[in-house]
Structure 1
């Protein structure tokens, strides 16, 4: 092979590689105007989300249907969890969002218990009924120091 052919060959594979890398980045980044949105956002307000982190699972009946995208405090000093839910999952307005734990000391996640209402949450709305995390450390502390009353 001549130098010109080798350079052409290498250049062709570099261009194909960059195109493949760009396509993969767009697919993983989920650019809505290019790929069509596969998810939507829902919010939920909790008194305590101890241990929930961005990237934590959102589950329905033990099946992962989304991820926690953002955590912040609102003006009422409640924790607001922004969840990215798969587009095909419909969440009725009487559903309950709970903070759960994988085992005793496992990772925290959001469990959505679906209701039976025919009306569903629209993207960007907030789940009204929530159950906060149980603070196991404070319960053990109260029990150990005799603050638990029967």
Structure 2
């Protein structure tokens, strides 16, 4: 069978488009799909344990993604995890008494921050702090407590 230059070019374009498609798929899976920084405002929350939370992890409210984690640091004075979140500008109506929790998507999924709106008339502003937080539940710690409790009840 004779190979023509047109066939070789088409096969090359097909393979190149497949590589580009895999690249964009990898970017979406690794939470790097957005190359531009959206306008928004930054809020901060302190957690006793932020678990496996990572920079670029989603921030959601009522199941809707409203932002991303922009930075995670450790406060050496209070020994807490300080999580900064960039919230999209269109969601600028979060009450001041909003609560933040670290949840896991599925049993072994990625962790994300869930914001639950409070009832205050005052709104969170750029640089605002969320006072009420709930840390991540560490699966190994919960299993250890269950096993320890079961062993002590048998005695």
| TM-score, normalised via structure 2 length | 0.70
CA displacement at 1:29 relative to structure 2: 3.6
Distance 1:141 1:66, change over 3 A: same
Matches within 5 A, 1:59-74: 59-74=60-75
Aligned to 1:43: 44
The reply on whether 1:137 has 2:114 as its aligned counterpart is no
Q: Residues of 2 paired with 1:143 and 1:108: CA distance?
A: 23
Whether the 8 Å contact between 1:44 and 1:97 is mirrored in structure 2 is yes
CA displacement at 1:146 relative to structure 2: 4.2
CA displacement at 1:28 relative to structure 2: 4.3
Q: Residues of 2 paired with 1:148 and 1:131: CA distance?
A: 28
Q: Residues of 2 paired with 1:29 and 1:113: CA distance?
A: 27
Aligned to 1:11: none
Q: Which of 108, 113, 123 lines up with 1:110 in the alignment?
A: 113
In the TM superposition, what whole-angstrom CA distance separates every residue of 1:104-138 from its partner, at most 9, and x where no partner exists? Answer: 11110000001121101110111111111111111
| TM-score, normalised via structure 1 length | 0.72
Task: Could you tell me which runs of 5 or more consecutive residues in structure 2 were left unpaired when the two chains were aligned.
Answer: 1-33
CA displacement at 1:142 relative to structure 2: 2.6
Q: Residues of 2 paired with 1:54 and 1:115: CA distance?
A: 25
Q: Residues of 1 paired with 2:151 and 2:78: CA distance?
A: 29
CA-based RMSD of the aligned residues comes to 2.0
The alignment of Structure 1 onto Structure 2 pairs a total of residues equal to 118
Task: Could you tell me which runs of 5 or more consecutive residues in structure 1 were left unpaired when the two chains were aligned.
Answer: 1-26, 31-36
Aligned to 2:96: 93
Q: Residues of 1 paired with 2:142 and 2:151: CA distance?
A: 8
